[in-house]
Amino acid sequence: MSNARKLFRILKSLMEYQKLMVVLGKADKMALHKLILAIIPRVAYFLYWIIDTLVVLTKIKFTSRWDIKDLMYKWATLWTIANVFTIIGAIVELVELGKEEAKMIASRKYSKTSDDAKDNSNGQVDQFKQKKFAQKLIVIKCSGDLITSTQNMGLPKDYLGWEFHDGMIGCGGFTSAAISCYNQYKLVNK
């Protein structure tokens, strides 16, 4: 049953390809470090979904060409890489937003501007808060996903000497899913 529902994910690599093309389309407008931090997760997710498809096809016995254990390790590794670089990108964005916000607040504090300009800068402060909140959610969501992806790789056992228990994995997965649902709800109700 769990594999049957995963068949609906077969073409998700095409969505990642589309996202990658969008990022590459904006390449000339992005700083190099931001471009790299945007490309690496998209490529990792693209490959992740291809391997996910191979895993599902192998589990349902459509093909037996690949070793399922090796595929699962590669699958989890790509998911981990995507999560780590997404977290790094979100932290970089948070730092840059914080610097921009501090400059804007400082310039507003020491300038003698009209009330209209101050109202406009209040709107900018709200925009900074919303952008920072979105980046914080990305960090939390990907951290939840990291629990599962690293467990699938065996990293906790190798480096910590113990494995994450089902409660930790479930909590990470629930957190990630709840944030995804929240983001979709926001997108639909914009």
pLDDT tens-digit series, residues 9-38: 777 888 899 999 999 999 999 999 999 999
Quick check: 112 pLDDT over 80?
no
pTM equals 0.85
DSSP 156: I
φ/ψ region of 62 (left if φ > 0, alpha if ψ in -120 to 50, else beta) reads: alpha
Question: How wide is the angle at C-alpha 138 spanned by C-alphas 80 and 158, nearest 5°?
Answer: 25
The predicted-structure confidence for 70-111, as pLDDT tens digits, reads as follows 898 999 999 999 999 999 999 999 999 999 888 887 887 777
Average pLDDT along the chain:
87
What confidence score (pLDDT) does residue 123 get?
75
User: To which residue do tokens 């840059």 refer?
Assistant: 96
- Mean pLDDT along residues 149-172: 90
C-alpha distances (whole Å) from 159 to each of 42, 75, 163, 167, 178 are 27, 19, 10, 20, 29
* Poorest-pLDDT segment among 3-7, 58-62, 113-117: 113-117
Q: How far apart are CA 37 and CA 40, in angstroms?
A: 6
